[in-house]
Chain A
Amino acid sequence: MRKIRAFVFRVLGMFRRTQLDREFDEELQSNLEFDIQDGLRSGLSPAEARRQALLRLGGVQAAKEAHRERRSLPAVETLARDVVFAVRLMRSQPAFSAAVVMTLALGSGAATAIFTAVDQVLLRPLPYAQPSRLVHIGALREGTSTAFSYTANFASFRDGNRTLSEIAAWMQFGANVIHGESSERVLGGLATRSLFDLVGVQPVLGRLFTTEEDAPGGPPVVLLSYAFWRDRMGADPSVLRQNLVLDGQSHTILGVLPDGFRVPNRFGGSAAEIWIPFAIQGRRAARGEILAHVTGRLRDGVTLEQASLDLDRLKMKLRSGISYRVVVTRWQDEVAGPLRTPLLILSAAVAFLVLIACANVANLQLSRAASREREFAVRRAIGAGRGRIFQQLLTESLLLASLGGMLGGLLAYAGKNLLTGLLAIRVQAADVALDWRVMLFSSTLTLATGVVCGIAPALHLQFRENLSGALKAMARGMTEGITWRRFRSALVVGEVAAAMLLLTGAGLLVRSFIELRTVDMGYRAGNILTFKLELTKSKYKDTRSQAAYFGQVLEQVGRLPGVQLASLAQSPPFTQYTLTLHQAVIDGLPPKALPVRANVITPDYFRLLDIAVVRGRDASSSDSFPGAAPVAFVNETFARLVCPGGECLGRRVQSWSTGRDWLTIVGVVRDVRTVPGREAEPEVYGLYSQFGGTHATVLLSTVGDPLAVAGVVQRTIAAIDRTQPAYDPETLEQSMSGYLKQRRARMMLVVVFASAALLLGAIGIYGVLSYAVKRRTNEIGVRMALGAEQRNVLGMVLRSGCNLVIAGIAIGMALSFPLMRFLASELWGVRPNDPATLAVVAALLTGTGVLASLVPALRAARIDPIQSLRCE
């Protein structure tokens, strides 16, 4: 208690320095007076009294010193003084400080971002009990491991295994869901009861379905995800008595799952909003080779190999005869799997970046320490011990390191979006968040690099100076061997080469991206809105009802204001739904084995997308009339590859629907790329009136902004049949951007790395040159005294800078020839050794190098020869 009181007073004492000093002076003065008084009283003469009093007063300075130490916290005061000095020093050298801070920020930011991802994806165990015993059961087929098992195997696995204590299965599906008045398309999950037990999840409302209920013929029930319950049902606690209609079948709501429930897999985990019992699939599952995720928990003492063998002997044969093997892996590894290699590569790249950053900081600090030799000599002369100087240097380094670390943290936070964009499909964005472990890692890293790289060079010089005191003048020119200088230059040249490589790669990727973005797709994409429709099979059983419904949709939607044309297509551009035939059968010709895309459209499709008809005629509404002759259209590639002489008109192609009718080819249309970067494949178009189908994309061309009519269109379609909601509204432009999103993220990542490398290279050049200039101050002074002009000196420094840059560019260019080939799979429309890109990058680097050399060069040119010669 007393100690605290004393401490508080000492803290306060820090702020009253001048006042306390003054008071103490007065007190000492009055003490002196009293002493003199006493002396006078005991008979001494005034002069003698004064002399004796002064003697007794003794070391005034020592007394004041002792007073100062006790009345405040001297350690804190020195620290505060050091910090103030460090700040002032920083501000007086803005270029240097900015360089160090930015370098540290880059290194620390990149390291933090990567560490976050690595931690989240690779290091953190799954958040379930005993995660190391949780396994994933997949199939190894033709050398690739799949994330799925065959559902027909599941029953055998479940009943016959000897190595698992629990086993569960789940998969995703889509359904048209009706609740009350609203209908929408919902992503759902099928799961065995054991899945919820495996991950240890308890509902927040209601209950889970039991294992008995999860059997063929069991009651139709459904569990809601928390988000679904909150957003669609307003978190109403009375949902338990209500029903959801899924694809025409009514399901009783049994319970609500907790917020954030998601089952992890290598594709980012389930996004299901509703869950129904696995066995509801019924016969389809038992018969088919339908794929599902299967996970389980190992029995104690069982290894993965044992489990693999155990389950492998229970597997069934595939109808297609392809052989496969059942493989049991750790669930953790399965989730992280495809990300492991890219993340490790990224980590290596970032580690490399951090090393370069450290080297840069060390370089810069060395350069600055060299110019402060005088300052340190003076400090030591007035009594600063080595510990004191060390403390001061430490404070300066810590200040820079902290700033660098904070900036790095901001960079990492911003870069988080880039990373999640890259890993987007695999990892949910919420997972890759920054948390305290990462913060700890990053601050430790920054402080360590900042401090070590900051202090080491300075101390190196300091202690060296101690030894070579007498030889100081001579030693100055040779305090470091030629090897150190060469090493540092080589380091900078390496940085420039690395920057050259990365910039070239970035340049190539950017050009590819632009090419892809602007490539001619074969259709016009502007102002086109798309919707998906998935008809409930139980309601629309045959072609007639399907065609009738679609006809109504087109008619109603086509009449809406703002809509020019409306059409349907089964596989429009960017669709996930593709049907590929293995052969083309032309009447009178042997079947031609080649992959052919089969598409189903309505007559306005080609007009809507501006797909030109090169031969024959366009589709017309009369082709859709009942009883019309069955027709088909093909694209140019099909005509070229399949029909003799490229003449397809009038020939008949075999339909791929169950009837195997013959369709007459009446038109040949221009090729259309389904996605950018892929060449057109042979494609044949049939009509919905002929084929029917339950899946369709509605395409609309609009007058103005397509999204503006989206709501009206959805409502119109809902008005026709409430149970069939139109979902996934998207413009074709958006589909294009979405498709390119991953590629764009990869490109941005390389661009970011390249920019970082460029910046670091520039800082490196600056650092090396400014140190060289400081070291050669005398020499420059002599040169100028002997007649060199300012511009000669300027040119000299610039030239040494350019030498470094050119050497780096040359090495980088040489390396780019073999290395850029690795990028070839990513490139489009541009060669890996594209000379234009190389030239632009080289120019950019040269320009940056010149700029970086300019500051030290100008400083050198402004050296006053008299000053420099005097500062011997």
Chain B
Amino acid sequence: MAAKSDVWQGTLALMVLRTLETLGPMHGYGIARRIESTSGDLLSVNYGTLYPALLKLEQEGFIASEWGESENKRKAKFYRLTRAGRKQLAKEEREWQRTTTIMNRFLGTAEDPA
């Protein structure tokens, strides 16, 4: 089995936003597990990298947090996407698409204009 790689810092923020858009308000543990499973378990998320990302997103106003209750009446801190966060997500998705398109052109099968 391929070793799980640690997730890159910059893209983690994008993943968190996407996760919150998909799942709706979620606590930190849930976000971590979701990211891991979405990646097909190829990524491992530890709290040492997740929480700085969450803090940054919250300080910049893209997500908001509040203490609430889970299904089992357990106290947990839930994070949710703000409107600004939605816009930021859309923007970053577009940019990411563009980056991958460009990179694919470079790394794709080279067409040799013979």
Residues of A within 8 A of B (CB): 2-3, 5-6, 9-10, 23-24, 26-28, 30-31, 33-35, 37-38, 57-59, 62-63, 65-67, 69-71
Give the tally of cross-chain contacts (CB within 8 A): 68
A26 x B75 contact (CB < 8 A): yes
In the complex the two chains form, what is the Cα distance from A659 to B28 in whole Å?
117
- B56 near A: Cβ within 8 Å? yes
**Min CB gap B65→A, angstroms:** 9
- B55 near A: Cβ within 8 Å? yes
Q: Which of B24-77 contact A (CB under 8 A)?
A: 27-30, 32-33, 46-49, 51-52, 55-56, 58-61, 70, 72, 74-77
In the complex the two chains form, what is the Cα distance from A70 to B59 in whole Å?
10
**Min CB gap B3→A, angstroms:** 16
In the complex the two chains form, what is the Cα distance from A274 to B33 in whole Å?
91
**Min CB gap B9→A, angstroms:** 11
**Min CB gap A593→B, angstroms:** 97
| Given A67-B55, A70-B51, A38-B77 contact (CB < 8 Å) | no
B77 x A30 contact (CB < 8 A): yes
Q: Which residues of A contact B27 (CB under 8 A)?
A: 27, 30-31, 34
A31 x B59 contact (CB < 8 A): no
| Given A34-B30, A35-B29, A66-B74 contact (CB < 8 Å) | no
A58 x B47 contact (CB < 8 A): yes
In the complex, 23 of the A-B residue pairs with CB atoms within 8 angstroms, ordered by the A residue number, are A2-B60, A2-B61, A3-B60, A5-B59, A5-B60, A5-B61, A6-B59, A23-B77, A27-B77, A30-B74, A31-B28, A31-B32, A34-B76, A35-B29, A38-B33, A57-B47, A58-B47, A62-B48, A67-B52, A67-B55, A70-B51, A70-B52, A70-B56
Q: Which residues of B contact A31 (CB under 8 A)?
A: 27-29, 32, 47
**Min CB gap B66→A, angstroms:** 11
Q: Which residue of chain B has its CB nearest to the CB of A67?
A: B51
In the complex the two chains form, what is the Cα distance from A513 to B38 in whole Å?
95
In the complex the two chains form, what is the Cα distance from A35 to B61 in whole Å?
28
In the complex the two chains form, what is the Cα distance from A26 to B47 in whole Å?
14
Q: Which residues of B contact A63 (CB under 8 A)?
A: 46-48, 51
Residues of B within 8 A of A (CB): 27-30, 32-33, 46-49, 51-52, 55-56, 58-61, 70, 72, 74-77
In the complex the two chains form, what is the Cα distance from A35 to B46 in whole Å?
13
Please name the 8 residue pairs, one residue from A and one from B, whose CB atoms are nearest each other, closest first.
A6-B59, A31-B29, A63-B47, A70-B52, A9-B59, A2-B60, A34-B29, A70-B55
Q: Which residues of A contact B58 (CB under 8 A)?
A: 9
Q: Which residues of A contact B51 (CB under 8 A)?
A: 24, 63, 66-67, 70
Q: Which residue of chain A has its CB nearest to the CB of B84?
A: A2
* The one of B47, B60, B74 that contacts A6, using a Cβ cutoff of 8 Å: B60
Q: Which residue of chain A has its CB nearest to the CB of B46?
A: A58
Q: Which residue of chain B has its CB nearest to the CB of A33?
A: B74
Q: Which residue of chain B has its CB nearest to the CB of A7?
A: B59
B49 x A34 contact (CB < 8 A): no
In the complex the two chains form, what is the Cα distance from A38 to B29 in whole Å?
11
**Min CB gap A35→B, angstroms:** 6
In the complex the two chains form, what is the Cα distance from A33 to B73 in whole Å?
12
**Min CB gap A41→B, angstroms:** 11
B55 x A71 contact (CB < 8 A): yes
B70 x A66 contact (CB < 8 A): no
In the complex the two chains form, what is the Cα distance from A30 to B33 in whole Å?
14
Q: Which residues of A contact B29 (CB under 8 A)?
A: 30-31, 34-35
In the complex the two chains form, what is the Cα distance from A69 to B55 in whole Å?
10
Q: Which residue of chain B has its CB nearest to the CB of A3?
A: B60
**Min CB gap A58→B, angstroms:** 5
Q: Which residues of B contact A6 (CB under 8 A)?
A: 56, 59-60
In the complex the two chains form, what is the Cα distance from A65 to B47 in whole Å?
11
| Given A33-B74, A66-B49, A70-B51, A27-B56 contact (CB < 8 Å) | no
B61 x A37 contact (CB < 8 A): no
* The one of B47, B59, B72 that contacts A37, using a Cβ cutoff of 8 Å: B72
Counting chain B CB atoms within 10 Å of each CB, the highest count among A59, A62, A63 belongs to A63
Q: Which residue of chain A has its CB nearest to the CB of B60?
A: A2
**Min CB gap A30→B, angstroms:** 5
Q: Which residues of B contact A37 (CB under 8 A)?
A: 72
**Min CB gap A450→B, angstroms:** 37
B70 x A34 contact (CB < 8 A): yes
In the complex the two chains form, what is the Cα distance from A10 to B76 in whole Å?
23
**Min CB gap A21→B, angstroms:** 13
| Given A5-B60, A6-B59, A34-B74 contact (CB < 8 Å) | yes
Q: Which residue of chain A has its CB nearest to the CB of B71?
A: A37
15 other A-B residue contacts (CB within 8 Å) besides A26-B77, A31-B29, A34-B76: A5-B59, A6-B59, A10-B59, A27-B28, A30-B27, A30-B29, A30-B74, A30-B77, A31-B28, A34-B74, A38-B33, A59-B48, A66-B49, A66-B51, A69-B52
**Min CB gap A54→B, angstroms:** 13
* The one of B59, B60, B76 that contacts A30, using a Cβ cutoff of 8 Å: B76
Q: Which residues of A contact B61 (CB under 8 A)?
A: 2, 5
In the complex the two chains form, what is the Cα distance from A10 to B56 in whole Å?
10
Q: Which residues of B contact A28 (CB under 8 A)?
A: 47
In the complex the two chains form, what is the Cα distance from A615 to B70 in whole Å?
122
A66 x B75 contact (CB < 8 A): no
**Min CB gap B34→A, angstroms:** 12
Counting chain A CB atoms within 10 Å of each CB, the highest count among B33, B49, B58, B59 belongs to B59
**Min CB gap B4→A, angstroms:** 12
In the complex the two chains form, what is the Cα distance from A9 to B63 in whole Å?
14
Q: Which residues of B contact A57 (CB under 8 A)?
A: 47
**Min CB gap B25→A, angstroms:** 14
Q: Which residue of chain A has its CB nearest to the CB of B72?
A: A37
B60 x A58 contact (CB < 8 A): no
| Given A6-B60, A58-B47, A30-B75 contact (CB < 8 Å) | yes
**Min CB gap A297→B, angstroms:** 64
Q: Which residues of B contact A58 (CB under 8 A)?
A: 46-48
Q: Which residues of B contact A26 (CB under 8 A)?
A: 75, 77
In the complex the two chains form, what is the Cα distance from A71 to B52 in whole Å?
8
Q: Which residue of chain B has its CB nearest to the CB of A58?
A: B46
Q: Which residues of A contact B77 (CB under 8 A)?
A: 23, 26-27, 30
In the complex the two chains form, what is the Cα distance from A71 to B58 in whole Å?
10
In the complex the two chains form, what is the Cα distance from A118 to B89 in whole Å?
64
In the complex the two chains form, what is the Cα distance from A69 to B29 in whole Å?
20
**Min CB gap B2→A, angstroms:** 19
**Min CB gap A196→B, angstroms:** 64
**Min CB gap B36→A, angstroms:** 10
In the complex the two chains form, what is the Cα distance from A809 to B59 in whole Å?
68
Q: Which residue of chain B has its CB nearest to the CB of A10?
A: B59
In the complex the two chains form, what is the Cα distance from A26 to B67 in whole Å?
11
Q: Which residues of A contact B60 (CB under 8 A)?
A: 2-3, 5-6
Q: Which residue of chain B has its CB nearest to the CB of A6?
A: B59
In the complex the two chains form, what is the Cα distance from A59 to B50 in whole Å?
13
In the complex the two chains form, what is the Cα distance from A232 to B11 in whole Å?
79
In the complex the two chains form, what is the Cα distance from A440 to B77 in whole Å?
52
